[in-house]
Amino acid sequence: MQHELSYDRYNTRHDRIYRVLQTFRSVEKGQKITAPAPEDYQVWGCAPVGPALAADFPQVKEMVQFMSPVSLLLEYGDKRLQQENLICIDSTAFKVFSWKLLQGNPQTALVAPNSIVLTQKIAEKFFGHTNAVGKTLRVNNGDHFTVTGVVADVPANSQIAFNGLISMSTARKWREDVFSAWGYVDFYTYFVLKDHADIAAMQAAVPAFLKRHNMEDPGYTIAFEKIDDAYLHSKASRQPGPVGSMSNIYLFCCIGIIILIIACVNFMNLSTARSLERAKEVGVRKVLGVQPSALRWQFLFESILISMIAATLAVALTNLSLPVVSALSGKDFAPKVFFSGQLAAWMVILTLATGVLAGAYPAWFLSRFQPIAVLKGVFKPSNSNISLRKALVIFQFTLSITLIAGTAIVYTELKFLNNHDLGFTKDQMLVLNFEGDDQVQQNLESIKKSLADQPGVVSVAASRAVPGEFLPNAGTDIQGPDGQMTNKIPLIYEIDFDFISCLKIPLAAGRNFSRAFITDSTQAIVINEAAAKLYGYRHPADAIGKKFSQWGRQGTIIGVVKNFNFRSLHTEVEPLTLRYGMPGSLNRIEVAIKAEHVAATITALEKTWKSVAPQRPFLYYFLDQSFNKQYEADQHFGYLFSLFSCLAILIACLGLFGLATFTAQQRVKEIGIRKVLGASVYNIVVLISKDFMRLVLIAIVIAIPLCILIMNQWLKDFAYRITISPGIFIITAIIALLIALLTISWQTIKAALANPVESIKNE
């Protein structure tokens, strides 16, 4: 929880850093536009808004913009690496964000064109531990960048992560025109608010600001969001990095509290169950004049002392288990960072609270014993005491069963995600990443043919991106059912002639791109069913032949593909247009390979690649693996949920085992007499077990609706989700009963097999 809640708080001025959220909505002429919902905003926006804000609002102290990450081939000497996650950023970066520059001058490091600041990890790959400033890297077999700084690796709890920073003046050399285009989207804008400045006043002035700068687009507006809210509370799309889940934090917090409560319940249960053993001690102390309040403090102190010993052991165990928890959660928990002063303070508070919670009732209960009754031997536990113990058993097993069922639902949903028909083929699909290399693009068709000629290759295609990767939006006019051109902003895929057939994306109407039609590369698009619906077509076939205009290209719709999940199943299929991507716009080659001899096929492809594109390293990945990375956070959630569930169940079973042991000891003479009178081992086992099993059954009845309520909330995060079936709860009930039965069976069978002579010889 501490790690998740601390995102971006490493920035010294995090409480005054804001980012600009932007909306790009289609508005018809004369249409009244409503205020955008939080979900309508995106963090990814246009460039001109940043300088305009800095110029118009005196409240802005510093402003910084950066672009979407790029991947570049970096070369120094004999070291040649395709480096991902490099971002072009303004020279004010170190004034806004608290990134520590280890080498170089923060004032000038990102000023000159072709300047690059590397992270410490990447700098050491190229230059070892020597000073990197002033050294030159060859980029994409052409340009040369000068290393102007080395920055400490970005903290793990940062939404903005990178391997290197490139000066924004370099990006201006590449494409100067986009910096003045209000409709071009590829920038993230952040700013620092001056001391005592009012962000609400800035937001109120936005309408006037937009009238001055962007009057032609009524669908465009902006809002401001605090960086502290970016990771956990933002509903905006197109985030610059990962986002967390506040509901998951609440859930794990609840699970942690549940585990503590179950442990406290065990302590209360066993303390009150063992009351007979301490009754004479209490009686003697009271006769000797000890006040009830002193007894209460004694028993409470015993509980707190046990809690303190447990906390000491817990810290040691936590230190040992951090690598395991890191692997399960996908987070990097370093002990020196994890054990902070803040956490130590919380540990002390938690330890004392746990001790008090666990010991308060037993202390009150034990201190109320009447000394005369106890010393005469006529003391017996009251019915209320027994009822309380039963209620506590029901309570802890209700929580444990809820967690068992919750674990089953989590894994059923994750299995559903993995097995869901996405509408395209991702298995045995090798993706070659050439990152828009000029020579590859110029010879793309011949390279594809060379790859397709290799044994084990089924088909080859090319595209700008593959499912699961980033896609841009494109303002697109399409002729509607009324014959009028309607402007919307669907997503866009740039592909070649073979992409749809290679990935086996089925058509709902019309045809695929074809080399037989010369105009398909310049005057045709294919849309998906969601896009057809967006433009008003109930039946996909009705959209065929309709006119379109998109990014300087006009023509007709030639086909409609069925909806396929090109993004995570967390979201519904969005409207999508697919158009032929001219050389210069493609980055990936998809190779469908046979399941047999995969290693040999990859070896043959690598050999071919080195001959047709020697200037590029052979970089590949499998589409199914990259696509499934979208569910890594869900997988880690499932691992942790299972771990904590098992822990809670184990603690509940320990309490049940102790209670069963005590019960068997209390009834040892009764069991002996029953055996003498002819009761079988089976009769004795059933006699002792049935009361506990009845309590577990009551817990099952209570746990089922509780689990449905909680897990339905969790499932809301998925557009495609399972329906919670009764079968999950039937299996859960059986598992819970078996766990309870196995827990108490050792003691019940042991008691049933005991020699009755030993238990009743003193009567």
- Over residues 324-335, the pLDDT tens digits come to 888 888 887 777
Please classify residue 100 by burial: count the beta carbons closer than 10 Å to its beta carbon, then call 0-12 exposed, 13-18 middle and 19+ buried.
Answer: middle
Q: What percent of the chain has pLDDT over 70?
A: 94
> What SS3 class is residue 77?
coil
β-strands 620-622, 476-479: how paired?
unpaired
Residue 436, C-beta contacts closer than 8 angstroms, at least 6 positions apart: 584, 585, 586, 587
Mean pLDDT computed over 105-120: 96
Q: Say what the pLDDT of residue 607 is.
A: 96
pLDDT band at 290; cut points 50, 70, 90: confident
DSSP designation for 578: E
Mean pLDDT computed over 508-526: 96
Residue carrying structure tokens 């906390």: 311
Q: Say what the pLDDT of residue 658 is.
A: 75
Residue carrying structure tokens 């802005």: 60
Helix (H) / strand (E) containing 516 = none
Each residue's pLDDT tens digit, 581-591: 987 889 999 99
Q: Which of 96-100, 363-367, 548-552, 677-681 has the lowest mean pLDDT?
A: 363-367
Residue 352, C-beta contacts closer than 8 angstroms, at least 6 positions apart: 304, 307
Which two three-digit tokens encode residue 567?
């993004």
Which has the closest alpha carbon to 47: 8, 84, 89? 89
Please classify residue 716 by burial: count the beta carbons closer than 10 Å to its beta carbon, then call 0-12 exposed, 13-18 middle and 19+ buried.
Answer: exposed
Report CA-CA distances (Å) from 626 to 35, 631, 759.
Answer: 37, 10, 67
Largest CA distance in the chain: 107
Which has the closest alpha carbon to 591: 756, 450, 733, 741? 450
Q: Which amino acid is at 182?
A: W
Residue ranges covered by each domain of the chain:
2-229, 246-381, 394-422+631-763, 429-630
Each residue's pLDDT tens digit, 165-179: 999 999 999 899 999
DSSP designation for 473: B
Which two three-digit tokens encode residue 99?
């990134």
Question: Could you give phi then psi for residue 557, rounded to 5 degrees?
Answer: -80, 125
Q: Are 664 and 688 in contact (CB under 8 A)?
A: yes
SS3 readout for 617-659:
CCCEEEHHHHHHHHHHHHHHHHHHHHHHHHHHHHHHHHHHHHH
Mean pLDDT computed over 721-744: 90
Question: Could you give phi then psi for residue 493, rounded to 5 degrees?
Answer: -110, 125
Which has the closest alpha carbon to 618: 454, 432, 762? 432
Q: Are 508 and 578 in contact (CB under 8 A)?
A: no
| 534/536 Cα distance (integer angstroms) | 6
Query: Highest-confidence range of 163-167, 400-404, 431-435, 679-683, by mean pLDDT?
Result: 163-167
Residue 482, C-beta contacts closer than 8 angstroms, at least 6 positions apart: 536
User: Is the whole model's pTM more than 0.75, yes or no?
Assistant: yes
Query: Highest-confidence range of 188-192, 257-261, 468-472, by mean pLDDT?
Result: 188-192
pLDDT band at 99; cut points 50, 70, 90: very high
Q: Which of 25-39, 312-326, 651-665 has the lowest mean pLDDT?
A: 651-665
Report CA-CA distances (Å) from 347 to 307, 312, 339, 373.
Answer: 11, 10, 10, 42
- Dihedral angle, C-alpha 205, 210, 213, 216, nearest 10 °: -160
| 651/428 Cα distance (integer angstroms) | 45
Q: Which amino acid is at 613?
A: A
Mean pLDDT computed over 82-93: 95
- Over the chain, what is the mean pLDDT? 89
